[in-house]
Amino acid sequence: MSTPDDPIGFGESDSSHGETLLEIEGLTKYFAADSGLFAGLNFEPDQFPPVSVGIDQVEAVDDVSFEIKKGETLGLVGESGCGKSTLGRTILRLLDPTDGTIRFKGEDLAELSGEQLRQKRSEIQMIFQDPQSSLDPRMKVGRIIEEPMQAHDMFDDEGREARAKELLEKVGLDPRHYNRYPHAFSGGQRQRINLARALSVDPDFVVCDEPVSALDVSIQAQVMNTMEELQDEFGLTYLFIAHDLSVIRHISDRVAVMYLGHIVELAAKEELFENPQHPYTKALLESIPVPDPRESGARGVLEGEVPSPQDPPSGCRFRTRCPRLIAPEEYDVSDEEWAHTRAFMRAVKRRTFEATSAAELRRKFFDGELPRGEAGEIVDEAIDLLATDRDRDGEGDGTVTEDDWNDAAELLLESFAERSICARKRPAYDLESEYGSETHFAACHLHR
């Protein structure tokens, strides 16, 4: 079931499960690409004056919409740099949104500022990944937990101490450790202190930004269990950010998958894991566990690079890495012919093979048979550029040059990739769920 007229109406959840606490619509956060003195000034030798003011910006979060129901946990997953933290911080107004609304209990946080915003901050809290750096080493634990209460004028000294001790117990620590310093605690315990601190002001909504990512796997489950118990007891709603799908699977009720600033899929947890519909989600699931790029130095296990958010691909942002890119309508090609063409285009773009004879290239990529019609003619032209036995009008010695590779890649990308619906239109479709009754959103034209 597609909704082409409603490109951003996704992520709606079954209202029978509770009232909506937070609803974001069209939320966008762009950063200036460089804050240096000459940021945004481009040198253009062909024009006068030879400078122009560029609008170089990092499209970290682009037109994101979803809602979170009271008491639920929405998991947010995606590779490093896809915009998860920026989205979380923008919702909390730690960053100013470039565009969009953040409706929290009916009030638009994007519109608030100053004292109004400060007051709201007790209702929305954040927990960060690194408990080491987020806890002041010179402050005693009790003081750390009491600080937000003090900032919001909650209770007197005695009341704050009593609440801090109670919270220590609630998060699974010993209230007698009230006077200890953070260094006396393990990583998992420090994250529990953070939790107590966030809960001290009795928030309704907590953005948890990779709260267990730095912890050992055995400790992760314990901390998540405590978070779930506290959620029930205090009626909390979580936006839980993680790059690890097993963590997301543990804690979420629904899951949003993010890629390069866009939400590409959003569904109830079981539906997402058992019936994933977006090629990016499928790739992530096939690569469980997603390696932490900070540790391995790798950018995930997907083929190719994540494009820069400064110049993201048009249409579907996943298209430059998508194994399912859709054939442009103007070519009459079979699925098999298109699969061959797509594989050839990718191999040329990434130069994953050596130039060889035209016949060998045809055999290697097309089983000897080029696609029919115009598509075949284009492929033939590209093969000709890369063939060592091509007739070069008496020029050269049959060497395939750098220019030839570039020309072939450009020809194929312009003729095929850029003409695909995947490049021309941003996808957004609501599907029927196989598991449960909630909406399944998938941003992929395969569902058109």
Binding span for ligand ATP by CB under 6 A among 78-86, 102-110, 174-182, 346-354:
78-86
Euclidean distance between CA atoms 145 and 139, whole angstroms: 10
Which of 86, 122, 281, 415 forms a contact with ligand ATP (CB under 6 A)? 86
Position of tokens 């029927």? Answer: 432
Which of ligand SF4, ligand ATP, Mg ion, none has residue 86 at its interface (CB below 5 to 8 Å by kind)? ligand ATP
262 binds ligand ATP, rule: CB under 6 A: no
Min CB(83)–Mg ion separation in Å: 8
Q: Write the interaction track for ligand ATP spanning residues 304-323; mark x where CB under 6 A is met and - where it is not.
A: -----x--------------
Euclidean distance between CA atoms 62 and 302, whole angstroms: 22
431 binds ligand SF4, rule: CB under 6 A: no
Does residue 28 contact residue 98 with C-beta atoms inside 8 Å? yes
85 binds Mg ion, rule: CB under 5 A: yes
322 binds ligand SF4, rule: CB under 6 A: yes
What dihedral do alpha carbons 308, 269, 75, 131 form, nearest 10°? -120
Closer CB to ligand SF4, 346 or 445, in the complex: 445
84 binds ligand ATP, rule: CB under 6 A: yes
Does residue 300 contact residue 310 with C-beta atoms inside 8 Å? no
What is the SS3 assignment for 273-312?
Answer: HHCCCCHHHHHHHHCCCCCCHHHHCCCCCCCCCCCCCCCC
Binding span for ligand SF4 by CB under 6 A among 63-71, 297-305, 332-340, 439-447:
439-447
- Burial label for 222, CB within 10 Å (0-12, 13-18, 19+), is middle
DSSP letter for 110, please. G
Q: Write the interaction track for ligand SF4 spanning residues 249-288; mark x where CB under 6 A is met and - where it is not.
A: -----------------------------xx---------
Q: Say how many residues touch ligand SF4, by CB under 6 A.
A: 14
Closer CB to Mg ion, 18 or 293, in the complex: 293
Which of Mg ion, ligand SF4, ligand ATP, none has residue 31 at its interface (CB below 5 to 8 Å by kind)? ligand ATP
- Angle of CA points 62, 64, 67, to nearest 5°: 165
83 binds ligand ATP, rule: CB under 6 A: yes
306 binds ligand SF4, rule: CB under 6 A: no
Does residue 187 contact residue 131 with C-beta atoms inside 8 Å? yes
Paired tokens of 287: 């690569």
- What one-character-per-residue DSSP string does 167-232 give? HHHHTTS-GGGGG--GGGS-HHHHHHHHHHHHHTT--SEEEEESTTTTS-HHHHHHHHHHHHHHHH
Contacts of 335 (CB under 8 A, 6+ apart): none
Which of 105, 140, 282, 324 forms a contact with ligand SF4 (CB under 6 A)? 324
Min CB(245)–ligand ATP separation in Å: 13
For ligand ATP, the binding residues (CB under 6 A) are 31, 58, 60, 78, 80-86, 243, 309
